[in-house]
A = this chain, B = another copy of it.
Amino acid sequence: MAMQHKTSILIFLLFLFGFFLSMTVSVADESEDPELTECLEECRSHPHYDIGMQKRCEDKCNQEHPPGKWDPRQGRGSGQSRDKEDPEQRLAKCRLNCRRQYSEHGQQMQCQTKCEETYKHERSSNPQRRYEEQEGEREEDNPYVFGRERLRYEIQSDRGYVKVLDKFHEKSKLLLGIANYSISLLVANPRTFVTPVHFDADCVCYVVEGRGTVTTLRKGDRKSHGIRKGDVFVTQAGSVLYLISSDLRQKLVLAKFLRSNSLTGQVSHFYAAGSENPESVYRSFSDEILEAAFNVPRDRIESIFSRQWQGAFVEASEEQIRALSRYSTEGGRWPFGESRGPFNLFEKDPIHSNRYGKLYEANSDDYRKLGWLNLRVSLANIREGSMIAPFYNSRSTKFAVVTEGSGYIEILCPHVARRGPRGSRAQRYREHEQERRERRYREEEEEEEYQEGPHYRRVRAHVSRGTVFIVPPGHPVVEVASRDQNLQTICFEISADRNERIFLAGRNNILRKLEREAKELAFDTSAREVDAVFDAQKEEVFLPGPGARRHRHDRGESEEWGGSESDDASLSELLPEF
């Protein structure tokens, strides 16, 4: 009974705290409070706490050390504040503890499952989340945003995994037009060989982190290329492909954008190597076919194709990695040779850069193979507390994967228009203008008979590492980094040919081009008043975010915050998994 009581109070306090949080909009920054940090650390390291107890301990810490208001003067870079304790990260830490605490695989697994159960509960009772739900921004209502949990395991093993996004159109009919595109993530542990596979899709890979080698077999030829963070490379449908994650400490993480070549739009993987799970394609042919094909008796064939019990991710020795890396084709890297190998996004100057963010981009001019897919690849790095100005792509559909940090986005969606959420502001203004309108137009009532013109629903969603979101062409979108983390997204934009990013605010706001008279007619006010609003924003593309103080970045901080390679593997371990 006492226990129950305690829990109720706990939840109530949690809720209050969440409400407070969402009202002030300033996100708690626990790691800065040394007492809170210490408290949390104690919970985690307590030798006799199980997962449930650990969580209750952490909750208590959070209550006892409520975060102070956000101090804009402290201007923190993304690196330092990464360990902010959102439920995802607490889950990640919990999992990490499992791996440290137990040496046996079975026990590790059990422990991790418990972590997930525990924090899944917390995630759903997360006040931030509940606030969002009240606003009608639950993921289910949102056709364009796919949380990390929408990625299902295609392959999963001790040494790595492949996760694939559900087919887009199965979430929403609005996405039928991109049914043959897909997003997948590959994560390979340090010093791991990913066995040969081909699939029925063209693939654009972005190296999120780590380093290694990619080898493709095609036209009877073998080509190997070294890969590292920031690299983009394209593999053709049907090419046999294998990888090495060669770093000693850091995982190799690839974000893949796939355009299926198949009859169904779904992507299939065909593994060639000698394992049972994933099954080698060879194992599926009849015995007599294999005997005839290889011209050897079946027992020798079986001994080859059933041996690799590790599956698709195989531990490699240092010698094997060194040997395989040696084959890598040199001279193929941009900008020194022909751009046949990977192209590194960070090697080219960003196409937009200011103190609020940087935009890197590669198109078919930079990397010929992107032209085959009519694709543009871009990486937006929005500094903490900043945002990208509202804009739309004139032709492209954009597939974005958040690779670092967190924040939120708003997409305007004409297809799921609802009148509810729009009401408040419209009504407020309606009252102001009531009088003025009545003077000019008597039959307010009659007007109600008119057909309603288009309205837009605001699709708003929290995004963090591993979130995938889609922005259809023409749809205005805005992306905002959280106050304490840079938001980095890798974007794959299809129909790149003749596409244009059109900005609706900032110095390059397209509407600033309206003639004086057009402004007057469109806004029913003097052009001077319109200009006063349109010209107030002096920045373009990347802007200070909501609530940000202007002077924050004026203290001459180093500009070295974007695009740099962070090699701190232990830190990456702390990040929520993809």
Contacts and interface: CB of A to CB of B under 8 A. Distances in A.
A553 to B, nearest CB: 14
A268 B537 contact: no
Interface string A301-313: 1111111111110
A310 to B, nearest CB: 7
A65 interface: no
A236 B500 CA distance: 11
Contact of A433 (B307, B504, B518): B307
Given A270-B474, A287-B425, A306-B429, A446 B106 contact: yes
A95 to B, nearest CB: 15
Interface stretch (A36-44, A69-77, A274-282, A340-348): A274-282
A351 interface: no
Nearest to A201: B474
Interface in A240-256: 240, 242
A578 B544 CA distance: 48
A407 interface: no
Contacts of A472: 200, 262-263
Contacts of A152: 451
Given A238-B393, A263-B175, A513-B222, A422 B284 contact: yes
Contacts of A474: 198-200, 237-238, 261-262, 268, 270
Interface string A455-497: 1111010000000000011111010100000000000000100
Interface stretch (A5-13, A48-56, A524-532): A524-532
B415 A295 contact: no
A414 interface: yes
B308 A518 contact: no
A236 B295 CA distance: 46
Contacts of A520: 320
Interface string A88-131: 00000000000000001110010000000000000000000000
A107 B110 CA distance: 75
A390 interface: yes
A532 B310 CA distance: 23
Given A450-B157, A453-B155, A453-B279, A177 B264 contact: yes
B285 A155 contact: no
B453 A533 contact: no
Contact of A173 (B240, B264, B454): B264
A429 B301 CA distance: 11
Given A271-B454, A522-B273, A283 B422 contact: yes
Interface string A139-180: 000000000000011111100000000000000011111100
Given A268-B414, A422-B284, A453-B155, A263 B176 contact: yes
Interface stretch (A78-86, A436-444, A555-563): A436-444
Contact of A397 (B263, B450, B544): B263
A372 to B, nearest CB: 8
A284 to B, nearest CB: 4
A46 interface: no
A400 interface: no
A517 B514 CA distance: 64
B511 A270 contact: no
Contacts of A278: 453-455
Contacts of A458: 284-286
A143 to B, nearest CB: 10
A364 interface: no
A515 interface: yes
B414 A270 contact: yes
14 contacts: A104-B443, A154-B454, A173-B264, A193-B521, A195-B521, A220-B508, A262-B474, A274-B523, A283-B426, A285-B410, A287-B425, A294-B536, A300-B532, A307-B524
Contacts of A428: 302
Interface stretch (A27-35, A211-219, A331-339, A565-573): A211-219
Given A272-B511, A282-B504, A293-B389, A316 B521 contact: yes
Given A263-B175, A264-B174, A510-B217, A302 B390 contact: no
B292 A544 contact: yes
Which of A195, A293, A476, A500 has its CB near the most chain B CB atoms (within 10 A)? A293
A479 to B, nearest CB: 10
Which of A240, A307, A452 has its CB near the most chain B CB atoms (within 10 A)? A307
A474 B266 CA distance: 12
Contact of A285 (B277, B309, B412): B412
A153 to B, nearest CB: 4
A517 B106 contact: no
A533 B300 contact: yes
A140 to B, nearest CB: 19
Contacts of A545: 292
Contact of A217 (B199, B271, B307, B513): B513
Contacts of A294: 505, 533-534, 536-537
A282 B372 CA distance: 36
B442 A104 contact: yes
Interchain residue pairs A-B with the least CB separation, the first 3: A238-B394, A278-B453, A177-B263
A269 interface: yes
